[in-house]
Amino acid sequence: KLNMKKIYAILFAALLCFASSNSFSQVTVTATAGTVGPTNYTSLNLALAQVGVLHNGDVTVAIGASEPVAVAGTIGSVGFTSCKIYPSAAGITLTYAGAASLITLNGSDNVLIDGRINGTGAQSLSINCTNIGGGVRGITMSNGAQGNTVRYLNVTVPTVVTPITGGRCINIAQSTAGTGGNDNNTVDHCNLSGGDRTLQVFGSAGLYLNSNTTFTYNKVRNASSLALFIGSDVL
């Protein structure tokens, strides 16, 4: 009986260890400076919050599993040189029910979001926003976010008529004073569906121009108002 108890205890400990290890395999971050890693996080927002904080230099964020995103993720503007975000497995979907942007590049430069496995394989990353209110976004670039690229990504938001504030799949947005325009950003080979304005670049009238935006080879459909909106002092 004693031996059996020991065996059960060992098996139980091993199971706990496996479960704990597996729970931290959602997102893996590596970097060339600071905390080099690989460092595992249980959610995307926790990982993105450490880009430029713990993880510096050239940062890689590998998404290893689908996730119901409870808290939106933001990358700030300092502390890193570049950041690559991509799936490391097939068929990954990030589902977001919040009334904001799932991923925000807040003044961030040189961020690449690539929906292909390891950034080169098959397209495998989808963002699915489900909130029907105003303000929902798949990805937002604002406050001087420059030199960023989003490619080979599927983004879906509800097709709901909410004038002006309705959903956007990708929003290159206005910037506040002192932060600069969102220049030299690219959206390429993305599959975008839904929203009031599906794909938008919107300059800050009289302040910044959001210069040199490039949209190439995207499928943009099912907008309730405008599939493609370019306005307000965009150059």
Three-state SS letters, the chain:
CHHHHHHHHHHHHHHHHHHHHHHCCCEEEEEEEECCCCEEECCHHHHHHCECCCEEEEEEEEECCCEEECCCEEECCCCCCEEEEEECCCCEEEEECCCCEEEEEECCCCEEEECEHHHCCCECEEEEECCCCCCCEEEEEECCCCCCEEECCEEECCCCCCCCCCCEEEEECCCCCCCCCCCCCEEECCEEECCCEEEEEECECCCECCCCCEEECCEEECCCCEEEEEECCCC
pLDDT of residue 232: 79
Tell me the per-residue pLDDT of 172-183, one tens digit each, with 9 for 90 and over: 999 999 999 999
pLDDT of residue 5: 56
* pTM listed for this prediction: 0.88
* Least confident interval from 46-60, 137-151, 197-211: 197-211
Structure tokens that stand for 151 in this block: 């490619």
Percent of the chain, pLDDT > 90? 74
pLDDT of 22 strictly over 50: no
pLDDT of residue 16: 41
Q: Please, which residues have CB within 8 angstroms of residue 228's CB and are 6 or more apart in sequence?
A: 197, 198, 199, 200, 215, 220
pLDDT of 130 strictly over 90: yes
pLDDT of 20 strictly over 70: no
Are 109 and 146 contacting, i.e. CB atoms less than 8 angstroms apart? yes
Q: Please, which residues have CB within 8 angstroms of residue 188's CB and are 6 or more apart in sequence?
A: 149, 150, 151, 152, 214, 215, 216, 217, 218
Tell me the per-residue pLDDT of 71-120, one tens digit each, with 9 for 90 and over: 999 999 899 999 999 999 999 999 999 989 999 999 999 999 999 999 99
Are 125 and 162 contacting, i.e. CB atoms less than 8 angstroms apart? no
Confidence of residue 125 (pLDDT cuts 50, 70, 90): very high
pLDDT of residue 133: 81
Are 71 and 99 contacting, i.e. CB atoms less than 8 angstroms apart? no
| φ/ψ (deg, to 5) at 6 | -65, -40
pLDDT of residue 144: 95
Structure tokens that stand for 87 in this block: 């799936």
Mean pLDDT of the chain: 88
Which tops the pLDDT comparison, 142 or 21? 142
pLDDT of 19 strictly over 60: no
Which tops the pLDDT comparison, 111 or 167? 111
pLDDT of 234 strictly over 90: no
| Tokens 């993880």, located at residue | 55
> Distance between CA 58 and CA 44 in Å, rounded?
18
pLDDT of 8 strictly over 60: no
Confidence of residue 45 (pLDDT cuts 50, 70, 90): very high
Give the mean pLDDT of 40-56: 96
Report the candidate in 230, 174, 221, 232 with the shortest Cα–Cα distance to residue 195: 221
